[in-house]
Amino acid sequence: MSPVRSRAVAGTAALVAGSLAVACLLVEGALRLEGYEPPRFRNTARVVDSKWRALLDCYPTNPRGYFDLDLRDEKTRERYRWMAPVRLDAVARRAPWAVEFRYNALRFRDVELGPKPPGVRRVMVLGDSFTEGQGVKEADTYPRRLEALLNAAGPGRWEVRNCGRRATDFPELYAAFEQILPFQPDVVVYGMVLNDADRSAEFQARQTYVNDWILDRGRILEGGAEPSLGPFSSRLFAMVEDRVETYRTSRATLRWYREMYGEPNRAGWERTQQYLRDMNRRTRAEGGRFLVATWPLLVGLDRYPFADVHDKVARFCLEAGIPQQDLLPVLRARPTESLWVHPVDMHPNEIAHRLAAESLAGPILALR
């Protein structure tokens, strides 16, 4: 290359580099003026007594004004000190907004279970934290909403029991089903979440994601870190880093959920299908009916990435003769974030629970 051409190329490169530097500075300035920071929150917390009869879900902020317990209040704090005498003050400093849970002897969020009263049709709702109602007041959970709707719309008297238990997947869900079957349910509703499927040891060992689209760990600050950037930190760099990390973990999460119902976890999905067949068969043998209610993960509902997985579950239920109600259609009409308990807790909030109950009331009344 001639010296003249070399100087021209170098000049062009310098001009491009200078333009990029100016553009970056302008973007940095704009982000600072807007007060941009990647969304970060102090960690959520859970306070539970040693016998699992009471629990508090605790959050660092109260953006919707829904959480009714403020542990910064001394009288409120003293009311719950028996649950965690040493730890409660530390939790109150970083996650003071709370929702109370009370459990029965089977560790379900309901009154003690007993014989079915005469003339009552009993619905028992089985599931994980979506059914238990993580971050949601007991009166707002979909089993409670469903009970009110059934009694308002259907003949006779209905009783709906919440048999959700957080952090429970198959085969533990099947064990919970066996616990509730002796209580004579007329209807067993299984609130299915996509992470419930049984998983082979080999498949589970490959789980490396951070954000499971239920609890957004990528937005959570650990330890005593402050949820803010320093005055000399680059907002542009923080934005790019945040977007890259979100993209990386989202791809990993998407792949993991899809593979859970595909060839990489074929044995686990086959066992899950067998559990569902057995639950349907055993419920019907006792004179009841079994219904699968499929909850979507609350992510991108307008272009939901797991519609094909829902279709696969629906096809299985149809082939197995199991009634199934997909909750995706009723929820996707709402902005996704409007259905979250909290910006870092993507469990369904009280609005999602109400919509789920409204979607299930008709199919339950129609069961024969």
∠ CA 36-42-44, rounded to 5°:
135
Structure confidence at residue 175 (pLDDT): 98
**Tens digit of each residue's pLDDT (9 = 90 or more) over 353-366:** 999 999 999 999 99
Alpha carbons 32 and 37: distance in angstroms, whole number? 9
Give the closest residue to 346 by CA, choosing from 253, 256, 216: 216
- Judge whether residue 102 has pLDDT over 70: yes
Backbone angles phi, psi at 209, to 5 degrees: -70, 165
What is the mean pLDDT of the segment spanning 122-147? 98
Q: What band does 31 get if pLDDT is binned at 50, 70 and 90?
A: very low
More confident call, 188 vs 206: 188
Query: What Rg value do the Cα atoms of the chain yield, rounded?
Result: 25
pTM of the model: 0.86
Q: Identify the pLDDT of residue 92.
A: 95
Q: How many CB atoms lie within 10 A of CB 335?
A: 10
Name the β-bridge partners of 215.
345
Higher pLDDT, 307 or 237: 307
Q: Which domains can be identified in the chain, with CATH numbers? A: 43-102 (no CATH), 120-199+259-366 (3.40.50.1110)
Half-sphere exposure of 105 (CA within 13 A, CB side): 5
- Long-range Cβ contact pairs of 112-117 (< 8 A, separation 24 or more): 113/161, 113/180, 113/183, 114/183, 115/183, 115/184, 116/159, 116/183, 116/184, 117/159
256-275 pLDDT tens trace:
888 999 999 999 999 999 99
Residue 232 dihedral angles phi and psi, to the nearest 5°: -100, 5
Q: Say if residue 141's pLDDT is above 90.
A: yes
Per residue in 202-254, pLDDT (tens digit) is 888 877 665 676 765 555 555 544 555 555 556 544 555 555 555 566 677 88
> Which residues are CB-contacts of 111 (< 8 A; sequence separation ≥ 6)?
104
Of residues 23 and 176, which shows the higher confidence score? 176
What single-letter DSSP state applies at residue 212?
-
- Mean pLDDT is lowest, of 25-39, 158-172, 273-287, for 25-39
